[in-house]
């Protein structure tokens, strides 16, 4: 391979032109003929036995030239990229300029490269850290959840009330005909939960165990089963059992039963402390987000679409992996949501753009400030990964790319650098006032 030229184009695109010498190309053509000739039929010859000259005469003189180009391109392209000292971030768009066994081949490739970044201000930035005070209603709500979790279900002798749990058989009919998915036995339903069609649960309220009765409802116009949307339906109900929840008293004994604390006040103080810590974390995260946004807004870079597209693909793959853990395929998810792949990908576009810009900005700071991840930091990250995935550290080392991990760690250190150099003013805000902004 001989690099002829490397020309910078607009929007972080580069055009590489390189050649492959005649001997290398000639040998590749001969190898392509030997491998591919059996695919071609020539009258008077058994398949795969026709001379090369006859095949080329019938199918074209360059019939094996393109196979040779395909064989040679990956290695030649990689060598050209290395010699040009560019960081490719997209798929190459190749074009054959010329090819002959006498003179070799010349190729031209357009490809997106990592853009040059010009940083604005990134040290001494001003930001306000807004820390919410504890909303006491959140403390009370958590106590209520704990009380509800520790309630006892007791049998109600009288009529069912909202909040009760009922055990029912039901079968649904539209125009007197039972429909698929409309039948169940011994279904446990919490009245007032809104789990069923509007009006269904309200009509169970007031009935007692042992009763059989009808519930008349109308399916919503936008119901997911189109054949039922907007239709009137009748459900035959048999009510087996009604239970209500008896909640424990909120006192010191309750605190002792559900926690490590001796008094209800101590339990509430613990919950309040957790909320305070969470509010601090949220405020710290927002400070980080605001600082990164300032750095990104201050930088200039011609970012190629290929970088955004690559990040979108990574986010899609990550989503696909997560739902696969739940036994669901992406194709099934898209079908259930009623969207195609392009629509699904578009949902990640804004997130991808923010992440790409942030990464470029932080990498530029890493380069400018000479930030590096130490071996000790790399070892700590290996241990963290090993602990998270319950793997041996040596196994983690064998599968991770050390340079890539260190690059990620350096980016995190760049974020810390920006925060350390920032002028941060802390402001306490009331939750209600903060939500109105």
pLDDT, tens digit, 9 for 90 and up, residues 211-225: 999 999 999 988 878
335 and 407 part of one domain: yes
Give the β-pairing of 165-174 and 177-190: antiparallel
The structural domain count of the chain equals: 3
d(CA 341, CA 295): 33
pLDDT, tens digit, 9 for 90 and up, residues 376-425: 999 999 999 999 989 999 999 999 999 999 999 999 999 999 999 999 99
- 122 within a domain of the structure (yes/no): no
pLDDT of residue 290 exceeding 60, the answer is: yes
User: Do residues 123 and 368 lie in contact, with contact meaning Cβ atoms separated by under 8 Å?
Assistant: no
pTM of this structure = 0.76
Alpha carbon distances (Å) from 250 to 135, 152, 254: 20, 14, 6
The pLDDT, as a whole number, for residue 435 is 46
CATH code, domain carrying 227: 3.10.50.40
304 and 405 part of one domain: yes
Within 8 A by CB and 6+ apart from 206, the residues are 159, 160
pLDDT, tens digit, 9 for 90 and up, residues 10-20: 889 999 999 99
387 and 333 part of one domain: yes
The pLDDT, as a whole number, for residue 226 is 84
The whole-number average pLDDT for the span 419-434 is 87
Alpha carbon distances (Å) from 427 to 252, 280, 289: 35, 11, 17
The whole-number average pLDDT for the span 335-346 is 90
- 64 within a domain of the structure (yes/no): yes
User: What is the share, in percent, of the chain residues with pLDDT greater than 70?
Assistant: 99
Give the β-pairing of 232-246 and 152-155: antiparallel
Average per-residue pLDDT for the chain:
93
CATH code, domain carrying 300: 1.10.3120.10
- 199 within a domain of the structure (yes/no): yes
The pLDDT, as a whole number, for residue 437 is 45
d(CA 389, CA 395): 11
pLDDT, tens digit, 9 for 90 and up, residues 50-100: 889 999 998 998 999 999 999 999 999 999 999 999 999 989 999 999 999
**Residue numbers of the domain that contains 60:** 2-112
DSSP characters for 247-261?
PPP-SHHHHHHHSS-
User: Do residues 191 and 214 lie in contact, with contact meaning Cβ atoms separated by under 8 Å?
Assistant: no
Six-digit token pair at 209?
Answer: 């165990």
- 132 within a domain of the structure (yes/no): no
User: Which residue, 246, 279, 297, sits at the end of a domain?
Assistant: 246
Give the β-pairing of 152-155 and 165-174: unpaired
177 and 86 part of one domain: no
Alpha carbon distances (Å) from 99 to 15, 28, 61: 19, 12, 11
Q: Which of these, 35, 120, 24, 125, lies nearest to 76 by C-alpha position?
A: 24
- 251 within a domain of the structure (yes/no): no
User: Do residues 245 and 152 lie in contact, with contact meaning Cβ atoms separated by under 8 Å?
Assistant: yes
The whole-number average pLDDT for the span 188-203 is 94
User: Do residues 168 and 143 lie in contact, with contact meaning Cβ atoms separated by under 8 Å?
Assistant: no
User: Which residue, 198, 217, 246, sits at the end of a domain?
Assistant: 246
Model confidence at 436, pLDDT cuts 50, 70, 90, reads very low
pLDDT of residue 433 exceeding 70, the answer is: no
The pLDDT, as a whole number, for residue 48 is 77
The pLDDT, as a whole number, for residue 432 is 67
pLDDT, tens digit, 9 for 90 and up, residues 31-53: 999 998 888 888 888 877 888 99
């Amino acid at each position: 391979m001989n690099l002829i030229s490397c020309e910078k184009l607009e929007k972080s695109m580069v055009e590489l032109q390189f050649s492959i010498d005649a001997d290398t190309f000639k040998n590749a053509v001969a190898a392509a003929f030997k491998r591919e000739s059996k695919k071609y039929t020539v009258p008077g010859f058994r398949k795969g036995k026709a001379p090369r000259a006859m095949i080329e005469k019938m199918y074209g003189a360059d019939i094996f030239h393109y196979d040779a180009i395909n064989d040679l391109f990956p290695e030649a392209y990689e060598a050209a990229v290395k010699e040009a000292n560019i960081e490719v971030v997209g798929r190459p768009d190749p074009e054959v300029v010329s090819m002959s066994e006498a003179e070799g081949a010349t190729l031209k490739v357009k490809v997106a490269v990592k853009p040059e970044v010009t940083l604005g201000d990134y040290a001494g930035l001003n930001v306000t850290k807004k820390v919410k005070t504890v909303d006491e209603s959140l403390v009370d709500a958590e106590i209520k959840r704990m009380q509800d979790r520790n309630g006892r279900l007791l049998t109600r002798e009288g009529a069912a009330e909202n909040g009760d749990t009922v055990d029912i058989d039901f079968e649904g009919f539209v125009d007197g005909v039972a429909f698929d998915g409309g039948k169940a036995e011994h279904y446990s339903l919490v009245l007032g939960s809104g789990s069923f069609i509007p009006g269904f649960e309200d009509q169970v309220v007031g009935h007692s165990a042992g009763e059989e009765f009808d519930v008349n409802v109308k399916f919503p116009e936008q119901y997911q089963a189109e054949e039922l949307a907007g239709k009137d339906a009748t459900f035959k109900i048999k009510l087996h059992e009604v239970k209500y929840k008896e909640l424990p008293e909120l006192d010191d004994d309750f605190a002792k039963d559900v926690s490590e604390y001796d008094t209800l006040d101590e339990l509430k103080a613990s919950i309040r402390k957790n909320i305070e810590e969470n509010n601090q974390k949220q405020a710290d995260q927002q400070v980080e987000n605001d600082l990164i946004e300032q750095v990104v807004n201050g930088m200039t870079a011609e970012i190629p679409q290929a970088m955004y597209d690559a990040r979108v693909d990574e986010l899609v793959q990550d989503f696909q992996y997560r739902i696969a853990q739940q036994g669901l395929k992406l194709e099934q998810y898209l079908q259930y949501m009623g969207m195609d792949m392009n629509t699904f990908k578009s949902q990640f576009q804004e997130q991808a753009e923010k992440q790409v810009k942030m990464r470029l900005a932080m990498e530029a700071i890493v380069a400018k400030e000479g930030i590096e991840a130490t071996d000790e930091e790399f070892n700590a990250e290996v241990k963290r990964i090993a602990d998270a995935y319950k793997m041996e550290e040596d196994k983690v080392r064998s599968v991770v790319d050390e340079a890539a991990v260190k690059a990620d760690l350096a980016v995190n250190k760049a974020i810390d650098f920006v925060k350390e150099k920032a002028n941060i003013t802390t402001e306490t805000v009331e939750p209600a006032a903060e939500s109105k902004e």
